[in-house]
Amino acid sequence: MKDIFCKDTNETFQSYGEYLRSRHWAAVKERYRKSNLPQCCLSCYSKDKPTDMHHKSYNRLGNEKLMDLIPLCRDCHSKTHSVEKSGKRNLWGAHRVVRKKSTRNGSVVQFPWHVIYNAKSAKTDAERKKILVEYAKLFCVERNMSYNVQIQKAVERTINAIKRGATKF
């Protein structure tokens, strides 16, 4: 890896490890933590596990924008780098593989059993959808995410699974 130069501090680092121990990197992480960007692991969506900052790309290493980083718990971070080192994916692609494996059916939102139970108890698909959408919107607000097409698809997949009589979600 070539030397890492930080414009704002005018420092040069000989290795990635040296860079990760720098005041510059500590300040970048602190800036991220104080931002309105998601703070939970963006692979498994755990809010309980401590997170590391993962670079989506090394293109601006030393001069990162906050959008170049995502928080990942240690397990997901380790898995992401394992996928990346296998040579099959770049850093961002590796994260997407791990995220898909970390969430059931590749879904961003996982409905807890009590929400599934209430949706199963509903008499019509419209009532089921209302129950699931309410939870999904709350899920998004808690994680500072937008209610998007991927989440709409998760709601539809869950409704279809209920109609099929599925027991695992």
Model confidence pLDDT, tens digit, residues 61-97? 999 999 899 999 898 899 998 988 888 788 888 887 8
Asked if residue 70 and residue 149 are part of one domain, the reply reads: no
Asked if residue 76 and residue 118 are part of one domain, the reply reads: no
Asked if residue 55 and residue 16 are part of one domain, the reply reads: yes
Residue type, 98: V
Q: Tell me the whole-structure pTM to 2 decimals.
A: 0.60
Q: How many domains does the chain have?
A: 2
pLDDT of 104 strictly over 70: no
Asked if residue 113 and residue 38 are part of one domain, the reply reads: no
Mean pLDDT, residues 127-136:
87
pLDDT of residue 53: 94
Other C-beta atoms lying within 10 Å of the C-beta of residue 148: 10
pLDDT of 113 strictly over 80: no
Q: Is residue 169 one of the residues assigned to a domain?
A: no
Among residues 45, 43, 48, 103, the alpha carbon closest in space to that of 78 is found at: 43
Asked if residue 153 and residue 135 are part of one domain, the reply reads: yes
Q: Is residue 22 one of the residues assigned to a domain?
A: yes
- pLDDT, mean over the chain: 83
Residue 141 CA to residue 88 CA, distance in Å, equals 34
Of 36-50, 64-78, 96-110, 137-151, the poorest mean pLDDT is in: 96-110
pLDDT of 131 strictly over 50: yes
Asked if residue 160 and residue 118 are part of one domain, the reply reads: yes
Q: How far is CA 4 from CA 13, 26, 92, in A?
A: 5, 15, 20
Q: Is residue 66 one of the residues assigned to a domain?
A: yes
For residue 143, give its domain range. 106-164
Q: Is residue 46 one of the residues assigned to a domain?
A: yes
Asked if residue 71 and residue 22 are part of one domain, the reply reads: yes
pLDDT in tens, 32-46: 999 888 888 888 777
